[in-house]
């Protein structure tokens, strides 16, 4: 008798083809209770935004905590820190889902690609090597540690590869009768450990990437320093600014509201009622960052980078 996909005889085959790679319902409920709240997402965005800001300011030798960044500041910076990792992760996940769907449909149709005989052992070996290399990088400096996000991605991809290959062998029938998802708490514990390892590896990778982006943005800022607007500070009292390229001009008029003028500065940012300036000739080797509180006894004037505001007493 010839059976069709709709007959009961084909049901076990479809069940076997679809089994072996689904999360236990208990774990889904647990993950939903942990991941769903927006407070967790906000906390993650806050952390990666903080990492971005910290390493951006660290490039200039400034501790970012003195600038009093707000939660909004950190959340806005997290976009720059996470845009590329989230895009890459989403595209990779989409390709993986498509590939798994194609493979599962072929297995459900009774077709077993010959390449699986070679790919499965090779994938097991590769997954083990990646997992070992990523895990070892946690404790010592390895070759992976010298490359951006290589160590955390090695750990995460190794775990994913091993888990997928093991469940793929179950899909292809290389399993004992009765094995699969019906193991109760064992299956929940297995998937929980996998979830923790993958989450930690992604967190590790995103942390390293956000730090690298922060320093890269600071380096780009310095490279474009000559093109940014010039800043002139007028102050009621002497600020005693001493940095390469910064000039102090004292106005002779005793009745003027601002007796001191400072030229040769570039504004980096303003946060928490603090101004962060760099001398226009700033370099990592001989640079000094200047932090000035925002007060009523001081005002700023901005000029295009190509203009040269006059110096001397007449400028007061």
Count of CB atoms within 10 A of residue 242's CB?
Answer: 9
Over residues 34-57, mean pLDDT: 84
CA 272 – CA 292 distance, rounded (Å): 11
Residue pair 255/276 in contact (Cβ under 8 Å)? The answer is no
**C-alpha distances out from residue 293 to 38, 70, 289, Å:** 35, 16, 13
Q: Which residues pair with 232 in a beta bridge?
A: 301
At 8, the pLDDT band (50, 70, 90 cuts) reads very low
Displacement of CA 61 from its chain's centroid (Å)? 22
| Domain boundaries along the sequence of the chain | 8-222, 226-315
Q: Is 278 buried (19+), middle (13-18) or exposed (0-12) by CB count in 10 A?
A: buried
The residue with greater pLDDT, 42 or 173, is 42
pLDDT, tens digit, for every residue of 200-216? 999 999 999 999 999 99
* pLDDT tens per residue, range 226-252: 999 999 999 998 898 888 889 888 888
DSSP letters, 82-148, are HHHHHHHHHHHHHHHHHHHHHHHHHHHTT---THHHHHHHHHHHHHHHHHHHHHHTTTS--TGGGST
As a whole number of angstroms, the distance between CA 165 and CA 160 comes to 8
């Amino acid at each position: 008798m010839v059976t069709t996909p709709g007959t009961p005889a084909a049901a076990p085959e479809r069940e076997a083809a679809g089994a072996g790679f689904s999360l236990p319902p208990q774990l889904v409920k647990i993950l939903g209770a942990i991941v769903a709240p927006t407070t967790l997402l906000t906390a993650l965005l806050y952390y990666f935004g903080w990492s971005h800001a910290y390493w951006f300011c660290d490039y200039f030798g400034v501790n970012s905590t003195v600038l009093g960044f707000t939660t909004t500041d950190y959340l806005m910076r997290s976009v720059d820190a996470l845009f590329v990792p989230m895009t890459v992760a989403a595209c990779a996940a989409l390709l993986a889902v498509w590939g798994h769907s194609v493979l599962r449909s072929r297995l459900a149709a009774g077709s077993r690609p010959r390449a699986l005989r070679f790919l499965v052992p090779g994938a097991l070996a590769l997954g083990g090597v990646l997992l070992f290399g990523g895990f070892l990088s946690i404790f010592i400096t390895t070759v992976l540690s010298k490359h951006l996000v290589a160590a955390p991605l090695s750990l995460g991809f190794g775990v994913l590869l091993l888990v997928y290959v093991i469940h793929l062998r179950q899909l292809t029938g290389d399993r004992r009768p009765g094995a699969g998802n019906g193991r109760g708490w064992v299956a929940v514990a297995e998937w929980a450990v996998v979830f923790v390892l993958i989450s930690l590896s992604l967190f590790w990778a995103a942390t390293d990437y956000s730090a690298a982006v922060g320093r890269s943005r600071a380096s780009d800022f310095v490279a474009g320093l000559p093109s940014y607007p010039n800043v002139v500070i007028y102050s009621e009292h002497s600020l005693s600014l001493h940095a390469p390229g910064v000039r102090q001009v004292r106005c002779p008029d005793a009745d003027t509201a601002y007796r001191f003028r400072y030229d040769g500065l570039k504004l980096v940012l303003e946060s928490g009622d603090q101004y962060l300036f760099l001398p226009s000739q700033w370099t990592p080797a001989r640079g000094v960052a200047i932090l000035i509180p925002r007060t009523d006894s001081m005002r700023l004037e901005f000029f295009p980078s190509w203009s040269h505001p006059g110096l001397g007493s007449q400028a007061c």
